[in-house]
Structure formats: structure tokens, C-alpha cells
């Protein structure tokens, strides 16, 4: 990644997946600019940027037209061109994650799709003039897109749309030589995950049922992301790459916990 420059959109703190990605890219020599959503997050993002040797931190709310209209000019002024873009943005109103999916309101559905999906398309278009000819674009998905995950609700539908968006964008941008991919990470205890009900149980379930018998880390996701953002993956586009210790291959539960809280084979549970 030495000599490459990129923009990390959506980093919240040093526990976030975007942080793991930025860390892996920094360790391989990349230079990066970062965005923050609001003043509350600015004080978290600025020290992280500084630790990665960057003074370029921009306010960016993807639903704010003024922010979106000005982001390309800021990048051009500070970097000229960028070689990669990390889109780590997702949101749904709280009630759309706590109520049954069938009760999702039209406004909540539109917000989830706009922030979590359309922002990738919009941001890519806004940055068209500053993306290098062989730029790599990466977004973040989750198994709740192609499969049902308890309490994921409208975000699952949004992730399904996001993954489809990756495929369609890959074709459109492929003619330019640019690539678009997604990483579907296993559950990780992040700020974003705090809005998912029973998340601690989801973590436990994944850990005992994944083939590698543990949950993934932001470092593991970061290393895979670095590969997709680098020239090592120059022949890869339109893909959803799973980094979940193999959980996505499971067709049924291998293990669960019994009444005593011990991990047992699912079919032996009492």
C-alpha cells in the first residue's frame, strides 16, 4: 500500500471495523484521510487520524448535501487523487430494529436505504473526479443481508441491497478499471452493533458454531480489507468476501448451550 492514498468514511472509534481497516492499511504504508459524522465523534476521530500520521479529517454526514457537495474539493486540495475508498456507513432508526420487521415504517425504510445503501453510490459519484483509474472501493456488509438474522430487521434488507449495489457498480466502474467489493464480517462488538437486540447472544452463538470456534476481530477484517484495497486483489471485483471464521458455511447449528450454560452438541441439548 506504500504510495497509495485513501479516504476512510465512517470511522467512529478505535473499536470500529473501519479502524481495523485503517490500521492494516497504515501498517502497509498507505496515507489516509478520514471523515467524522459530527462534533461528538470529531474528538474521537482526530486523535486516531494523528496516530496514523494524517492531518486530513473532514466533517461528512452523507445525508447532508453541503457536506457531500464539498468532499471532492477537499480531497483534491489535500491529496489530488485517491486510490481507495472505504465506505463504513449504515443507519436505521431505533424503532426499526426493535419492532417486528413487518412493522417497519416507510420513513424508517427510506432512511435505512438512503444512509446504508445509496450513500455508497452517491459518494462514489461525488468523488469521481478524484478517484484514480485503478481505484478500489470497499463497503461493509453482514450475513443478515442474504440470510435472516434475529433483530437485524430492516438493516438486513439494506445489506441485501448493498450487496446487489456492489455487483452493479462493479460492472459500471469496471470499464474504467476501478473495482468495488464488500466484506461481510462476522459479529463484532462495535458502537454500531450496540443497536442490535440480544447482540451478546449473537456473539456467543457465532463463537460456538463457527468452524474456527471463535468470533473475528477488527484486525482480521482489516487485513482482508487491506488485500481488497491493494493491488494484490487487482483481479477481484463485485465480490462479497466473508470474514467470519467460516460461520456463513453452516447449514444448521453445530452447538448450543444446555440448561447449565455448558456448550454441547445441538442435538444433545437438554
Does 81 map to a domain? Answer: yes
pLDDT digits (tens, 9 = 90+) for 72-111: 999 999 999 999 999 999 999 999 988 999 999 999 999 9
- Asked, for residue 202, whether it belongs to a domain, the answer is no
- Residue 268: the pLDDT is 62
CATH number of the domain within which 29 lies: 3.40.50.720
Please check whether residue 36 lies inside any domain of the structure. yes
Residue 141 counted as domain residue? yes
Percent of the chain with pLDDT over 90: 83
Residue 39, domain member (yes or no)? yes
Q: 115-165 pLDDT, tens per residue?
A: 999 999 999 999 999 999 999 999 999 999 999 998 899 999 999 999 999
Range of the domain at 190: 5-197+216-248
Q: Are 85 and 127 in contact (CB under 8 A)?
A: yes
**Residue 30: what pLDDT?**
98
Q: Which residues contact 96 (CB under 8 A, 6 or more apart)?
A: 104, 105, 108, 109, 112, 153, 154, 155
| Residue 84 CA: distances (Å) to CA of 21, 111, 134, 137, 179 | 12, 26, 9, 6, 9
**254 pLDDT more than 90:** no
CA dist 137 and 1 (Å) reads: 14
> Does position 260 have pLDDT exceeding 60, yes or no?
yes
Torsion of CA 218, 220, 225, 227, to 10 degrees: 160
Can you say whether residue 4 is alpha, beta or left, with left for phi > 0 and alpha for psi between -120 and 50 degrees?
A: beta
Domain contains 50: yes
User: How many domains, the chain?
Assistant: 1
Let me know if residue 270 belongs to a domain.
Answer: no
What does each C-alpha distance from 232 to 5, 121, 193, 224 come to in angstroms? 16, 24, 30, 11
Cα–Cα distance, 169 to 113 (Å, whole number): 16
The C-alpha cell at 174 is 469496471
Average pLDDT over residues 186-192: 78
Distance from C-alpha of 154 to C-alpha of 105, rounded to nearest angstrom? 10
Per the domain annotation, does 37 fall within a domain? yes
Whole-structure pTM value: 0.92
Q: Which residues are catalytic?
A: 142, 152
Amino acid at each position: 500500500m506504500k504510495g497509495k492514498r485513501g479516504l476512510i468514511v465512517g470511522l467512529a472509534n478505535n473499536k470500529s471495523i473501519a479502524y481495523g481497516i485503517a490500521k492494516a492499511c497504515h501498517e502497509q504504508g498507505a496515507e489516509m484521510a478520514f471523515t467524522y459524522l459530527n462534533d461528538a465523534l470529531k474528538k474521537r476521530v482526530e486523535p486516531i487520524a494523528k496516530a496514523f500520521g494524517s492531518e486530513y479529517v473532514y466533517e461528512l454526514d452523507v445525508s447532508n448535501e453541503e457536506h457531500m457537495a464539498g468532499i471532492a474539493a477537499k480531497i483534491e486540495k489535500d491529496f489530488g487523487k485517491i486510490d481507495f475508498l472505504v465506505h463504513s456507513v449504515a443507519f436505521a432508526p431505533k424503532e426499526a430494529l426493535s419492532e417486528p420487521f413487518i412493522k417497519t415504517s416507510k420513513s424508517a425504510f427510506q432512511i435505512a436505504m438512503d444512509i446504508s445503501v445509496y450513500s455508497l453510490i452517491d459518494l462514489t459519484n461525488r468523488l469521481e473526479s478524484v478517484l484514480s483509474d485503478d481505484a478500489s472501493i470497499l463497503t461493509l456488509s453482514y450475513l443478515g443481508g442474504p440470510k435472516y438474522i434475529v433483530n437485524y430487521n430492516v438493516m438486513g434488507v439494506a445489506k441485501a441491497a448493498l450487496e446487489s449495489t456492489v455487483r452493479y457498480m462493479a460492472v459500471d466502474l469496471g470499464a474504467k478499471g476501478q473495482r468495488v467489493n464488500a466484506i461481510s464480517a462476522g459479529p463484532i462488538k462495535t458502537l454500531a452493533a450496540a443497536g442490535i437486540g440480544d447482540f451478546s447472544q449473537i456473539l456467543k452463538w457465532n463463537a460456538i458454531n463457527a468452524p474456527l470456534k471463535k468470533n473475528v476481530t477488527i484486525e482480521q477484517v482489516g487485513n482482508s480489507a487491506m488485500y481488497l484495497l491493494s493491488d494484490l486483489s487487482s483481479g477481484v471485483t463485485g465480490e462479497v468476501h466473508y470474514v467470519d471464521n467460516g460461520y456463513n458455511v453452516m447449514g444448521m447449528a453445530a452447538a448450543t448451550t444446555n440448561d447449565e450454560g455448558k456448550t454441547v452438541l445441538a442435538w444433545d441439548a437438554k
